[in-house]
Amino acid sequence: MSPLQLVVGPLAENTYLVRTPEGPVLIDPGDEAERILKAAKESGIWPKAILLTHAHFDHVGAVGPLVEALDLPVYLHPLDLPLYRLAPELAQAFGLRIPPPPLEVWPLEEGMSLYGFTVWHLPGHSPGHVAFLREGEVYSGDLLFKGGIGRYDLPGADGKALFASLRRLFSLPAQTRVYPGHGPPTDLATEARTNPFLIEWET
């Protein structure tokens, strides 16, 4: 079943409400907490946890209000904790404001199973960037987009690591559906064939 996708905030970030065998989850609630709550109510998809691909402010801006409203556990890779704690200050540097996210988080680890997903640590866009995989689909955060890839000129980013992470991502079956942090869904076959950053690869 396809996720419920909401495009939120001034940076048009994708927030996903995803049904899983262990209950629904929210992936990357970046902004507009009230709108996310309204969508959950109208769809009947009440999340049991928040899963974060990484901690840039446009992906965590609604975490605080949602935890306050729903008392949800938050999962994040420990290497992104510094970015997570600084998210309000980093947002201000872009002229934006977000509520401080709750400091208590549960750690994500490479290879762990969580709500029917397997966690892959795929750094480069940020030190603790992860993707959430399940059969036939991947929530790629800001690693891969339709026609693009994640930035690696931000604090904590690493271009060499990002391209290594992309190569690992493309080890998945070509038909794997990709739900990115920005922009429309795609699949690995399409990106291998048309993405201008990747078309010269032998993937």
In whole angstroms, how far apart are CA 44 and each of 61, 75, 194?
A: 23, 22, 37
Q: Which residues contact 41 (CB under 8 A, 6 or more apart)?
A: none
Helix H or strand E segment including 85: helix 81-93
Quick: pLDDT tens for 102-128.
999 999 999 999 999 999 999 999 999
pTM above 0.85, yes or no: yes
Instruction: Give the CA-trace dihedral at 146, 150, 151, 156, to 10 degrees.
Output: 170
d(CA 58, CA 47): 20
* 200 has pLDDT over 90: no
Q: Is the pLDDT of residue 162 over 90?
A: yes
Q: How confident is the model at residue 2 (pLDDT cuts 50, 70, 90)?
A: confident
pLDDT value at 19 more than 70: yes
